[in-house]
Each structure stands twice: as C-alpha cells, then as structure tokens.
Amino acid sequence: MPIPSVVPAPSTIEIAEGDPPFTFSGSTVLTGDPDATALAATLLARRTGVAMPVALRHRQAPDGFAPNPVHIDFSLTPGLPAESYRLRVRDNGIEATASDEAGLFYSIHTLSQLVQGRDGEFSIPSVLIEDSPRFAYRGVMLDVARHFHSVETVKAYIDRAVSLKFNVLHLHLTDDQGWRIELHSRPELTAMASGTSVGGHPGGFFTKSDYREIVDYAASRHMTVVPEVDVPGHTHAVGLAYPELVEEPVLSEHIHEVVHEYGGSLPQSGTPYDGLAVGFSSLKIHDEKTYDFLADVFGELAGMTPGPYLHLGGDEALGTEPADFAEFIRRASELIADLDKIPVAWHEAGAAAGLHDSTVGQYWGFVTPIDGMDDKARAFARNGAQLILSPADAIYLDMKPTADASLGLTWANGPTSVERAYSWEPATVIAGITDADILGVEAPLWTETVRDLDAIDALAFPRIAAAAEAAWSPPTGHSKLRTWDSFRARVGRLGPLWTSQGIRFSASEEIDWS
C-alpha cells in the first residue's frame, strides 16, 4: 500500500490504488465555503507554488476562466460529529464536507499533507478519508515564563500546532522567573517581575491587548487558550511585586544540587530568580491577603479568557505541608469554579481533600507511573472530572531528543526518542482510567533552554506529531496506521510541507525523510 502522508492518522482511509491522482493545473478552482477556500488557497499555494483562483459563487468558475474547471470544493452539511470531516480525492476533483468550520479546517490540513511531488509537478493520491478526533482536548503548552516568547512566536506556534489538529494552547504565564501577563488589578506584577528570564536573559510580558490578540488568533484557527497562573509554588516572581504575599525561599538540598549542576545563584527574596530550580517558593497559605490576590488575578483573567478553563498550577509545592497545600487548593479551585470557569490543576492537586469536584487534572508522571502519581491522578476521576495526559517521559517536548542535543533537559528519563514519544497508549497509562475519564492529551514545552522559535521547532518537531497522533487518532490496535513503522513513514513525507511552512524541524535519524 502506498504511504498516505497524513499525521495524525485519520480514523479511516481508503486508497484507490490504480486510480489516477488529482493533479494541480492551471484550471483548478476552489469553490464553496468562503473561509475554507481562502485558507486552502493560501496553504496549497505555499506548498505547490500554484495559485488557484477562488470562485465567488458556489461551484462556478470565475469569469474568463477556462470551461470545465477542476474543483476543490468545501461544503458544510449536517450529520458529521464535531470537528470531523470527509474528504474524497479523485482525478476529476476534490470534495471536502463537514458539519462545522473546524471540520473543514482540518480537511484542508489533511489535504496539504497529502500533496506529493516537487518542481511544479504536484499531485494528491485518490483517497477517501473519514476522520474524527478521539479526544476533545488536544493541547500544546508553551512556557512563556522561563523564557518570554513574543506574540509573533506564539502565533507561529499556534499555526504549527493547528496543522496537526491540536485545538488547545495552554500558556504557562507565570513562574519563579517571571510574571508575563498584564493585569490592571495588580499592575505591580508586570511592572516589577517581568524584566528577566532564565540565565538573566531579557524578559517581557503580554499586555492585555497582546493577550487578546493571541486569544483571537487562536480562536480563528479553532483553538482555545487555557491560561495558567501557577500557585501556590512557582511564585518567586510574585514576591518581587508583593513581598508581603510570599514565604521566604526554602533552600533545600535539592535547590543546592540544581544550582551546583546548572550554575546560577540561590533564590533570594526580592531578587529576580534566573536559575533552573523548582519547588522553593510559596504564597502564604494562612493569610487572607493571598486569597484577595487570587480573587483579583483569576477574576481578571477569567474576564479576558473566553475559553472554559483556568489552570491554577499546583505542581511541585515542595516546601508546603500537605494540609496547607490541601487548604490552598480547596480555596483556589473553588474561586475559579465560582467564576464559572473549569479549574485545571497539575496532578499533585488530586491529593488535596476539598479540591473542587469540577477540577480537571493534568498528569505529568511517567508512562509507567511511579511515586503514587497515578493515585493523585485517579482522585480527579473519582470526583467525576476528567484528566489531561502529559506523560513526561513521552511527550515533554523539552526533553533532549538525543544525548548530544544542545537544547533540552533530561530529568524525565531523557533523552526522549521519537519512537518513545510515539509508543504509548493513553488508556493504559493509569490503571482504572479509560477513554471516558480522559479529556485529552497535551504536549508541554517548558522553556528553560528555549529562547526562540528555532529552538521551539528543533525540540518540538517531529515529536509533537507523535503527541498529535495520541490525541487525535484511533487507539493502537484500532487502525493499521497506528504503528511506529507507519508513523515514521508518514512523518518522513512531511518534510517538504514543514519546510514550506518555515518549520526548522530536527531531521531525526529515526525517520527516513523523503
């Protein structure tokens, strides 16, 4: 069977072997849904160099155009599930149908991937694809706290992610090293705590209008933004602006070890932190001023965020007593629920009695859980809420891809090969957790070592495609395409498309790039 170069693998694909392919010619016109035709014109022209006219009226060639043009037609028809589409390619035309704009949007990305050829000779094999997502939540996370990343970079990452059918951008907006979102209720945060990044590199922050620009850009690409304000730990930067809200840094053995390994200085009250250690900071748990602060921050963020989720962090509060942590998580999650948002928290919050029942958990343990992290994750499901799976030894995109890579970390059993990023199955990570308990899959990219878009690309690609397949495609065993060998063959054919999109992917030796 010829290799259909579609990633993530579609639910079903029939390749009409022997049938002539669709070829691009001067008489191809794009017809139908206006948004879809406009996007298809842009993406297909970028890939093929062939500019195709968009017909103004449905199924009609533009004036003065050759008779009997070959159509690529996009239409909305009721009947398919959300985000799903049907794509039929024949030599005499292409038809894409969906029940919603998101479905048509994804059909165009599939079409772009199917284009084969070079140097003016481009074709698309005759296929029939019927495709639906496995999970509703398909996320990528970008840490803009350890190193700040501009609106332009975030938009570029959105474009990359949506082309692999991701529909959530989780922005890690705050951490020990900086506060990256302007809030009118707490102006000191960005005024005092956004100036630097890891390594003493320049910092930055999003103004409220920058944030709106990102939210709107994402929405126009069928993507929801989930903002994270990480509390009660990861809050050293808060202390630069509001020293009365934070505890003294806990200088544990772990902190000394990290400083020894990576350099940098020990965290110090009132001084920006530019190292790589975690777990030394905390908001004051037993002070009402802390909850006034959270009410301001989450309240304003909720008003700026059209999506349903607010992420409260909750990870690695290493210096906080369990009872204090539980009390804090109870109040923070309730506050978010009272704002009519769904709280999201890293899996540690599952250990907190009183966690609001609606809180979605994000699991960052390993594919084979250790240290009881699976117990904490199961607690969310027991509450009747769902889980997002981000197994760190598979889809933490900030792990080194190879031992000699200059970028990336290694703590999660790194380096992480493309094969390891691919070879895991969501429903078997946490015993007792099945598809019904899983909201989705998210691939985080922490940015301790990541300063710009080239570095993002080099770490994310191609492993981000493995995460996309876990999030979108049928489970392992339910499709012939869901094997490592099929995946690497399909990914190997995406190099020219990725290059045409400006993606500086790592040409991993595990893949035969064609």
Which residue, among 371, 390, 512, has the nearest Cα to 445 in the 3D structure? 390
Q: Which helix (H) or strand (E) holds 420?
A: helix 418-422
CB of 53 to ligand TNX, least distance (A): 48
Pick 392 or 439: Cβ nearer ligand TNX: 392
The answer to whether residues 418 and 505 touch, using CB atoms and an 8 Å cutoff, is: no
Q: Counting contacts by CB under 6 A, is residue 396 touching ligand TNX? A: yes
Which residue, among 411, 421, 425, has the nearest Cα to 443 in the 3D structure? 421
Q: Counting contacts by CB under 6 A, is residue 442 touching ligand TNX? A: no
The angle, 0 to 180 degrees and rounded to 10, between the axes of the packed helices 463-472 and 484-492 is 120
Q: What residues from 266 to 305 belong to the interface with ligand TNX (CB under 6 A)?
A: 278
Pick 1 or 370: Cβ nearer ligand TNX: 370
Q: Counting contacts by CB under 6 A, is residue 228 touching ligand TNX? A: no
Peptide bond just before 227 cis, omega within 30 deg: no
Q: Of 101, 213, 316, 419, which one is the catalytic site residue?
A: 316
Pick 33 or 448: Cβ nearer ligand TNX: 448
Q: Counting contacts by CB under 6 A, is residue 398 touching ligand TNX? A: yes
* Whole-angstrom distance, CA of residue 146 vs CA of residue 68: 56
* Whole-angstrom distance, CA of residue 244 vs CA of residue 371: 34
* CA distances for 407 relative to 378, 395, 402, 486, angstroms: 33, 16, 10, 28
CB of 475 to ligand TNX, least distance (A): 25
Query: From the list 91, 296, 300, 316, which residue makes contact with ligand TNX (rule: CB under 6 A)?
Result: 316
The answer to whether residues 197 and 148 touch, using CB atoms and an 8 Å cutoff, is: yes
CB of 146 to ligand TNX, least distance (A): 6
| 230 burial level (CB within 10 Å; 0-12, 13-18, 19+) | buried
Q: What residues from 448 to 477 belong to the interface with ligand TNX (CB under 6 A)?
A: 448
CB of 393 to ligand TNX, least distance (A): 11
| 292 burial level (CB within 10 Å; 0-12, 13-18, 19+) | exposed
Pick 39 or 455: Cβ nearer ligand TNX: 455
Size of the site for ligand TNX (CB under 6 A): 11
The answer to whether residues 131 and 87 touch, using CB atoms and an 8 Å cutoff, is: yes
| 250 burial level (CB within 10 Å; 0-12, 13-18, 19+) | middle
Tokens of 345: 């928290």
Q: What residues from 354 to 393 belong to the interface with ligand TNX (CB under 6 A)?
A: 364, 392
Query: From the list 83, 247, 315, 374, which residue makes contact with ligand TNX (rule: CB under 6 A)?
Result: 315
* Whole-angstrom distance, CA of residue 330 vs CA of residue 291: 11
Q: Counting contacts by CB under 6 A, is residue 15 touching ligand TNX? A: no
Tokens of 275: 């190292």
Q: Counting contacts by CB under 6 A, is residue 176 touching ligand TNX? A: no
CB of 196 to ligand TNX, least distance (A): 16
Which residue, among 238, 219, 223, has the nearest Cα to 170 in the 3D structure? 223
Pick 192 or 373: Cβ nearer ligand TNX: 373
Q: In the annotation, is 14 catalytic?
A: no
Q: Counting contacts by CB under 6 A, is residue 446 touching ligand TNX? A: yes
Q: What residues from 51 to 90 belong to the interface with ligand TNX (CB under 6 A)?
A: none
Residue 303: CB partners within 8 Å, gap ≥ 6? none
Pick 405 or 409: Cβ nearer ligand TNX: 409
Q: Counting contacts by CB under 6 A, is residue 346 touching ligand TNX? A: yes
Pick 90 or 254: Cβ nearer ligand TNX: 254
CB of 361 to ligand TNX, least distance (A): 12
Q: Is the dihedral of CA 459, 344, 144, 249 positive or negative?
A: negative
Q: What is the DSSP letter of 71?
A: E
Pick 258 or 494: Cβ nearer ligand TNX: 258
* Whole-angstrom distance, CA of residue 229 vs CA of residue 389: 19
Query: From the list 3, 295, 409, 427, which residue makes contact with ligand TNX (rule: CB under 6 A)?
Result: 409
Edge-to-edge order in the sheet of strand 93-98? 12-15, 127-131, 85-90, 93-98, 70-76, 28-32
CB of 412 to ligand TNX, least distance (A): 7
CB of 117 to ligand TNX, least distance (A): 40
Pick 211 or 364: Cβ nearer ligand TNX: 364
Cβ count within 10 A of residue 19: 13
CB of 1 to ligand TNX, least distance (A): 39
Question: Which residues are catalytic, by number?
Answer: 316
Residues making contact with ligand TNX (CB under 6 A)? 278, 315-316, 346, 364, 392, 396, 398, 409, 446, 448
